[in-house]
Amino acid sequence: METLAEYVQRIMNEKELKAGGVAKRSKGGIGDSHVTNIANGTTTNLTVETIKALALGLGVDPVEIFRAAIGADPDLTLATILRVFEKLNHPNVSKLFLRIDRMNSKQIKALVEAAEKIK
């Protein structure tokens, strides 16, 4: 799985973009130093606004940025997510979703790693 930094670097290389070009294409949504920090892995916890601006600057779907940011499997599709939701029929599921919504990417990654250990 690609990290967020690797993903951003790959897209920038494929599209022959520099940080300043990404910033310009984002129409002021993200600065070139912020793009550089994301691409070199210094910045890893992005806001929704930053994800949208970075996606605009890179010319990609914001969902792809989000997937890279949380370390999601590239094979994860909306259909898979919907199948899982259909199986969830427990009163505490909504509480779980609210907690996950408040987590940062490191916390979500730790949660997923813990869940993978459950047999």
Q: Give residue 4's pLDDT.
A: 93
Total domains in the chain come to: 2
User: Does residue 102 carry a pLDDT above 90?
Assistant: no
- Please provide residue 36's backbone torsions phi and psi, each rounded to the nearest 5 degrees: -60, -45
User: Does residue 62 carry a pLDDT above 80?
Assistant: yes
Q: Report which of residues 27 and 80 the model is more confident about.
A: 27
Cβ(26)–Cβ(54) under 8 Å? yes
Looking at the fold, whether 13 and 65 belong to one and the same domain comes out as yes
What's the pLDDT tens digit per position in 76-100?
A: 666 666 666 666 666 677 777 778 8
User: Does residue 12 carry a pLDDT above 70?
Assistant: yes
Average of pLDDT values for 43-71? 90
Looking at the fold, whether 58 and 87 belong to one and the same domain comes out as no
* The two three-digit tokens of residue 14, written as one number: 């494929």
> Could you give the count of Cα atoms lying within 13 Å of 26 in the half-sphere of its Cβ?
25
Looking at the fold, whether 54 and 95 belong to one and the same domain comes out as no
The 3-state secondary structure of 2-44, one letter per residue? CCHHHHHHHHHHHCCCCHHHHHHHCCCCCCHHHHHHHHCCCCC
Per-residue DSSP letters for 36-79? HHHHTTS-----HHHHHHHHHHHTS-HHHHHHHHHT--TT--HH
Q: Give residue 81's pLDDT.
A: 63
| Mean per-residue pLDDT of the chain | 85
Q: Give residue 1's pLDDT.
A: 73
Looking at the fold, whether 22 and 47 belong to one and the same domain comes out as yes
Looking at the fold, whether 50 and 86 belong to one and the same domain comes out as no
Looking at the fold, whether 11 and 66 belong to one and the same domain comes out as yes
Q: Give residue 63's pLDDT.
A: 84
Task: Return d(Cα 104, Cα 100) in angstroms, integer.
Answer: 8
pTM, two decimals, is 0.64
Task: Return d(Cα 46, Cα 66) in angstroms, integer.
Answer: 9
